[in-house]
Chains A and B, each alone.
Chain A
């Protein structure tokens, strides 16, 4: 016997209750879709385990499948909250995990050295030269076509960090800003996804787009021959939005890579690059600010300056030599360029690099008597 509708004050059954249609509890009006066959309006109490997507729940709430919470999820006694609308997790004192954003958990995420442009051992104002790769602020190469441009370390308070500033020159037909990352500093990321992030402030009249290119060296740390694996054009304006590029490095990136920003021409105005970061993973995390001494040491693996003075008594023709040590050790035996020297009763005051760890400071006595000799030199083991 089948009833189409039963209205009763209560049901008290010890057997099963089989219903074919929707069950509405607490309200006589359905607010869900027809596929939602159980509607509880008001509270519900389940003393045992509640399973969703499982017929055998083992916890008070056991969901097999995806769950979505649009409000705040509170875990434990309220000390940990996950707040979706504000993208925050709070109250966590310990996280046990192998990786964050597919990279190291903390520190030295940024493979770019001097990405904040704080270090300027060669000086804070340098001409780019024409048609040559010129090292400017530490680790950063600038090359200009046709007409040289001025390269400066900018310290405007409008930006959170120092920046590399290009001052345009009439007749210039192109400028590139590059950093070469040594094989030993990038090979762990070869074959993996990385994110390049940077800011550009373009107050020039003619460089509305720039290109961002990534090349890898064809042989380890030898950038005389490169292979491009990423290239994109980006609009550049005076806005201060952070630009990001996510790319998977090729396996050959273990040879070292070159990050290059190119502008078609900078003939007037100022072009600024700052806060450059290359890190593992698909997300651009906040710029990694390293202690200034640490950043300087990272730069000095590639470039150092030294000054030396010696005085005493010498006889004519005698060789004077003192030994100094590179701290930190340099990448390779460096090229030596003496920038200043003086000789009093000596000749040929200068330096000679012996290895990546040692240099000598030398002169030859002119005649018997007191002497003073001094010299300053640049040591370059750039790549």
Chain B
């Protein structure tokens, strides 16, 4: 039995060996003979989820009207200003590979609770999360 991969390598399930698609490789030729005999390999396992990209998220956030709104509201709201500062610090750590997901989620929730934002701006935040492959990690609630 064999299993496909997302690349061109074949997995031989008997010993989990990776068989390269080299016509001179005896194992690959045996695989082709196995196919010719009418057999079908198992499908490739689903690819792993994309890795979080906090730089892409940050770039998308800075380009949004949501970011401009947070910045503007921070001039007059000390709590929002404090939360925004904390959020920026957490994002700095996340971009360096040390994401504190729990803390980021809490700060995002607090900012959305204290600040005043439009529906469009909330959509922008969701799009920024998606740009950084973070939409499966963080919510807007």
Contact = CB atoms under 8 A, between A and B. Distances in A.
Given A222-B29, A382-B26, A315 B97 contact: yes
Given A316-B51, A317-B52, A335-B12, A352 B27 contact: no
B55 to A, nearest CB: 11
A332 B15 CA distance: 20
Given A318-B97, A332-B25, 18 more contacts: A221-B24, A224-B29, A315-B96, A315-B97, A316-B52, A332-B24, A332-B26, A334-B20, A335-B18, A335-B27, A336-B18, A336-B20, A337-B17, A352-B9, A353-B18, A368-B98, A380-B17, A381-B26
Contacts of B4: none
B33 interface: yes
Given A333-B20, A336-B18, A383 B26 contact: yes
Interface string A282-324: 0000000000000000000000000000000011111000000
A62 interface: no
Given A316-B52, A352-B9, A336 B25 contact: no
B25 A368 contact: no
User: In which size bucket is the chain A interface?
Assistant: 20 to 34
Contact of B97 (A316, A334, A337): A316
Contacts, number: 66
Interface of A: 221-224, 314-318, 331-338, 351-353, 356, 365, 367-369, 380-383
Nearest to A351: B18
A352 B52 contact: no
Interface of B: 9, 12, 15-20, 22, 24-30, 33, 51-52, 96-99
Contacts of A332: 22, 24-26
A343 B30 CA distance: 32
12 contacts: A223-B26, A315-B96, A315-B98, A317-B52, A334-B25, A335-B19, A337-B16, A352-B9, A352-B18, A367-B98, A380-B27, A383-B26
A365 B97 CA distance: 10
